[in-house]
Amino acid sequence: MGRTFTQIAAVTMMNLRSIPDRLWTSLSTVIAVAMVTAVLLGFLALANGFQSTVQGSGSPDVAVMLRKGSGSELNSNLTREQSLLVEEAPGLARGADGKALVSPELYVVVDGIKKSSRTKANLPLRGLGVRANQVRSGIKISAGRMFTPGTNELVVGRAVSRQFEGFELGRKIRLAAQNWTVVGEFEAAGSVFESEIWADVAVLQGLYQRGSSVQSVRARLDSPASLEKLKAYSEADPRLKLDVQAERSFYAEQGKGMSDIILYLGWPLAIAMSFGALAGALNTMYASVDARMREIATLRAIGFGGTPAFVGTMVESLLLSAIGGVVGALATYLLFDGISAATLGSNFTQVVFALKMTPQLVVQGVVLALVIGFVGGVFPAWRAARVPLLAAFKEQ
């Protein structure tokens, strides 16, 4: 056993030390594998960043209520009567005045101009009820102040002011044929809310001729478990019959669709590219075996078994692709991690989020690289183990 290991180690070292003889073809394998890994990780980081932004948006003790079957806030419509009924529901957190913490909200789409491309893009403009601040937690006014209800004032999410033109503090801006003043900027822990503009719901109702109707009602629960009470209450009253969801699962569902699309795009592309890299790896490793044919045969003639030649070739292939994988992961990390991207959220509005690399993603990338190295090595290694001994007598 010890001897076998010594043999394998010696032949493997010999194998690895001969890589510089095949520098260019080895390097091209490393680069091909690095590119595959980088593409895969780019997509994974995109999906991951999107998902964590969207999922982070939801709180488990906030309930979102929409009209039954509407699916998204844009498609929903609730009457004033319904929002008043919600305020009577059990299981809701209540303010100091004893009133339920409920925010009837409007959700409309306005045009913004992206700084990067100077093109129009959809921005969500949300009208908040007076108690919205108490309903949502984790919102922080980072500059300026909250809008005053009843006025044409608005506050913008951090991502909006960063990526869109004209949202600097104190600026007047024209949205939906109205003049507005930006009075504040808010942070929301990197969630989708940072990609929204907020104003007073009553002002928007007037502006969009919605009368007293809204699109969604958010309510703060006294505990996450109270969601069931709220659901039961809504089901029991024929005037309500709303779709009631915890905000967390509402956003998780919305985020899943998009990040699935990214993954369904990313994996096949990475796998298609893997075949290219695999062809390169096979080529490199067959060339390596062919170049070492006489050496391998000589070792066999001396009395070495086929196993060291097999292992040596496998290790070379795995090493080259592992280097490729690590280089690819590193490149993705340095180039992409944390950079901002914007994509359409499920309401066809822009969601701004950052690409997010995690150790788990890096592992996935390196595993793909090693799979390429394994498959690209095993066939040449098999050839190496079966080099005819007579090759030792041939001139090279």
Partner 1 sequence: MSEALIQLKGVTKSYTRGKQSVPIFERLDMTIPQQDFVAIMGPSGSGKTTLLNLLGGIDKPTGGEIVFDAKRMDNLDESKLASFRAGNVGFIFQFYNLMPMLTAAQNVELPLLLTKLGPKARRERVNTALSIVGLSDRARHKPSELSGGQQQRVAIARAIVSDPKLLLCDEPTGDLDRETAGEILSMLQTLNRDLGKTIVMVTHDPEAARYAKRMLHLDKGHFSEKDLAA
Summarize as ranges the residues that interact with partner 1 (CB under 8 A).
Answer: 3, 6-7, 10, 14, 17-18, 21, 294-295, 298-305, 389-390, 392-393, 395-396
DSSP state of 195: G
Distances (CA, A) of 367 to 47, 220, 361: 18, 44, 10
Q: For residues 141 and 391, which CB has a smaller minimum distance to partner 1 in the complex?
A: 391
Q: Which amino acid, 218?
A: R
Q: What are the tokens at 168?
A: 């600097």
Considering the complex, what minimum distance in angstroms separates the CB of residue 355 from partner 1? 42
Q: From CA 222, how far away is CA 228, in angstroms rounded? A: 12
**CB nearer to partner 1: pick between 105 and 295:** 295
Closest separation in Å from C-beta 389 to partner 1: 5
Question: Shortest Cβ distance from residue 41 to partner 1 (Å)?
Answer: 34
- Across the strands, what pairs with 141? 186
Q: Which residues contact 177 (CB under 8 A, 6 or more apart)?
A: none
Residue 297 or 381: the one with the smaller Cβ distance to partner 1 is 297
Looking at residue 220, what DSSP letter applies?
E
CB of 305 to partner 1, least distance (A): 6
**Could you tell me which of 46, 123, 72 has the C-alpha nearest to residue 350?**
123
Beta-carbon neighbour count of residue 295 at 10 Å?
18
- CB 26, min distance to partner 1, A: 14
- For the bound state, the minimum distance from the C-beta of residue 20 to partner 1, rounded and expressed in Å, comes to 9
Residue 256 or residue 294: which is nearer to partner 1 going by CB? Answer: 294
Least separation in angstroms between CB 3 and partner 1: 7
In the complex with partner 1, which residue's Cβ is closer, 252 or 391? 391
Q: How far apart are CA 134 and CA 375, in angstroms?
A: 57
Helices (H), ranges, the chain: 2-17, 23-55, 80-87, 132-135, 158-163, 201-207, 227-236, 247-291, 293-302, 306-336, 359-385
Q: Is the dihedral of CA 59, 104, 354, 341 positive or negative?
A: positive
The answer to whether 102 touches 132, Cβ cutoff 8 Å, is: no
- Nearer to partner 1 among residue 79 and residue 298 (C-beta): 298
Tokens found for residue 127:
């009208």
Task: Please name the residues in contact with 341: beta carbons below 8 A apart, sequence gap of 6 or more.
Answer: 46, 49, 50, 352, 353, 354, 355
Distance of closest approach, residue 287 Cβ to partner 1, in angstroms: 16
Residues in the chain: 396
**Coil, strand or helix: which one is 255?**
helix
Minimum CB distance to partner 1 smaller for 172 or for 386: 386
Only one residue has tokens 């005819």, namely 388
Pick 6 or 212: Cβ nearer partner 1: 6
Q: Which is nearer to partner 1, 17 or 118 (CB)?
A: 17
Rank residues 9 and 143 by Cβ distance to partner 1 and give the closer one.
9
Beta strand pairing status for 172-175 and 178-187?
Answer: antiparallel
CB 186 within 8 A of CB 154: no
Contact by Cβ (8 Å): 392, 294:
yes
